[in-house]
A and B are shown apart, each in its own frame.
Chain A
Amino acid sequence: MLGEYLPILVFLAVGFGLAVVLLGLGLLAGPRRPDAEKDSPFECGFPAFEDSRIKFDVRYYLVAILFIIFDLEIAFLFPWAIVLDTIGVFGIVAMGIFLTILIVGFIYEWKKGALEWE
């Protein structure tokens, strides 16, 4: 059974070998004359404008998280609605508990101001 995987092994070996040979040739045969200009980082030909590690606004992230909760709620509600006539009262109570807990979270986020853009 393992024999069927032989082509993959050969492919891996060739890929690895080729990478080693090409990089090794460049390292050994290529000329290397570094200077300050060549070593400095640049953006599109210009010197770097600012540090990339800055604080940025996470508002989109917050909205995305809040969205996904209610999106999942819908994903639960659809199959629940289809089988409601077979699961009966038990299903209604269970979904009621689930929605109540979600509503508690919704009131919390609303009052905390997570829904206000400015």
Chain B
Amino acid sequence: MNIVIAMPEIFLLSTICLILLLDVFLREDCRMITYLLTQVALLATALLAYGAMDGEKTTGLNGMYVRDDLAGVLKISILLLTFVVFVYARKYLKDRTIWVSEFFLLGLFAVLGMLVMVSANHLLVVYLGLELLALSMYALVAFNRDDGRSSEAAMKYFVLGAIASGLLLYGISILYGLSGKLEFAEVLTYVSSQNVLENIPLLFALVFIVAGIAFKFGAVPFHMWVPDVYQGAPTAVTMFLGSVPKVAALAMLLRVLAESMGAAQPGWAQLLLVFGLLSVFLGNLIAIAQFNLKRMLAYSTIAHMGFILLGALTGTTEGYSAALFYTITYAMMAAGGFAILILLGREGFEAETLDDLKGLNERNPWYAFIMMVFLFSMAGIPPTVGFYAKLSIIQAVMQAGYLWPAVFMVVMSVIGAYYYLRAIKMIYFDKPEQTAPIQAELDFNILISVNGVLMVLLGLFPSALMGVCSAAMVASRL
């Protein structure tokens, strides 16, 4: 028993309970206090997670939990990203008179689930964190419960999510039946002793586990829920769903596939190769046909997740670091892109079609510039960070000997650039259809500016973040 290693999670859980209790005794017009406490809790937990990074790999809670630098980096990025997302979300919720504290509380529970996933050292603990994240997310998607589309999206997400959880659990149970172990190190010992490509039951378990993980990423062929949920959910929830949980999904992939089944890499690499290539292909092609911006960004997410899967399949330290770098920077640009959508909307009006972007430059040149940076970054055009992220993935894939997948990724990136550039053309060269002024409070303006400038700065000086990512991988012996 070494419960100190779970300190950030214990602290966050206690704070959530306190906020929950305090909130029901506060008056309606004091909701701001709940919001501020939520943000303080996120920052304090991030500090605790930072303080726990000591370069060592410590397991505790009867071997179920692990604390290492990889967990530290992932936790800090999850917490800070959530902080930024909540600042953006505040404007959306206030504008639409759905300014209730449950959004932040459910968000905090989702964050707690993600932290548990990140630090898991046991297959059932991964599942526990995953379910806490997923259940909070189902409720958040249905947040606007009188809106038919929101409820429909939540229903689809719930049914498909439940099937995916079932697949994952089935895979875990087969693995348990074969090895009798669930702790990562012991599973690794078992998998290392087997000839993976010859062992049909083990491959069977692997396929189910990889399918469950691919669903959480939203990779083809498990991508059906992504566009509908992105479009149906309130934009603030789409922003949260489309950014932070991707980091947790990568954590799950690294922990379950790389760490506990690293010896089975020849088995799962084939699956990830197919999923990744299909995602890059379908995501980029279908996004071209989308007129709804949220749907377009959903298909763009699918394409980006393909890149991450392809980086992770290499099984090398470079590949894992590139995937981590890509995920963190992608989450930042996705949060920023959806924040601009929130900015363009107002009460009774949701900005979600490409037409709403028209003439943004005439309405507000600075926001137009920031949106252009986000779109350039998603398309992977230098000097934005999206370019470096794609470059490092493609380098890792080529080093691992996958030549034609690398060529395919480059070609699909060029095709994908079309729909990002089309949006930029509308921002700069079309006449505005809306004339309502675009307003936001100071904290929103500062964060969105920092977010946009970071995309360029990280693109010019990627080594700072890349160094952290590869150091974390080396410290965790991945």
A interface list, Cβ under 8 A from B: 100-101, 104, 107-108, 111-112
Size bracket of the B interface: under 10
B13 / chain A contacts, CB cutoff of 8 Å: 101
Chain A contact residues, majority secondary structure: helix
**Residue B24 at the A interface, CB < 8 A?**
yes
A100 / chain B contacts, CB cutoff of 8 Å: 17
Chain B contact residues, majority secondary structure: helix
Q: List 14 A-B contacts (CB under 8 A).
A: A100-B17, A101-B13, A101-B17, A104-B17, A104-B20, A104-B21, A107-B21, A107-B24, A108-B20, A108-B21, A108-B24, A111-B24, A111-B25, A112-B24
**Besides the contacts A104-B17, A111-B24, what 6 more A-B pairs have beta carbons closer than 8 Å?**
A100-B17, A101-B13, A104-B21, A107-B24, A108-B21, A108-B24
Tell me the nearest residue of chain A to B17, going by C-beta: A104
Q: Contact string, B416-442, partner A, CB cutoff 8 A, digits 1/0?
A: 000000000000000000000000000
Tell me the nearest residue of chain A to B13, going by C-beta: A101
Tell me the nearest residue of chain B to A109, going by C-beta: B24
Docked CA distance A111–B24 (Å)? 6
Tell me the nearest residue of chain B to A112, going by C-beta: B24
Q: Contact string, B4-26, partner A, CB cutoff 8 A, digits 1/0?
A: 00000000010001001100110
Tell me the nearest residue of chain B to A104, going by C-beta: B17
Please give the distance in Å from A23's CB to the nearest CB on chain B.
Answer: 31
Please give the distance in Å from A56's CB to the nearest CB on chain B.
Answer: 15
A104 / chain B contacts, CB cutoff of 8 Å: 17, 20-21
Docked CA distance A43–B25 (Å)? 50
Docked CA distance A100–B21 (Å)? 12
Docked CA distance A20–B24 (Å)? 61
Please give the distance in Å from A12's CB to the nearest CB on chain B.
Answer: 25
B17 / chain A contacts, CB cutoff of 8 Å: 100-101, 104
Docked CA distance A104–B13 (Å)? 12
Docked CA distance A111–B26 (Å)? 11
Please give the distance in Å from B125's CB to the nearest CB on chain A.
Answer: 16
A112 / chain B contacts, CB cutoff of 8 Å: 24
* CB neighbors of A among B389-433 (8 A): none
Docked CA distance A100–B13 (Å)? 12
Q: Contact string, B153-176, partner A, CB cutoff 8 A, digits 1/0?
A: 000000000000000000000000
Docked CA distance A113–B324 (Å)? 45
Docked CA distance A111–B20 (Å)? 11
Docked CA distance A108–B21 (Å)? 7
Please give the distance in Å from A106's CB to the nearest CB on chain B.
Answer: 11
Please give the distance in Å from B175's CB to the nearest CB on chain A.
Answer: 25
Please give the distance in Å from B374's CB to the nearest CB on chain A.
Answer: 38
Please give the distance in Å from A48's CB to the nearest CB on chain B.
Answer: 23
Docked CA distance A108–B105 (Å)? 12
A107 / chain B contacts, CB cutoff of 8 Å: 21, 24
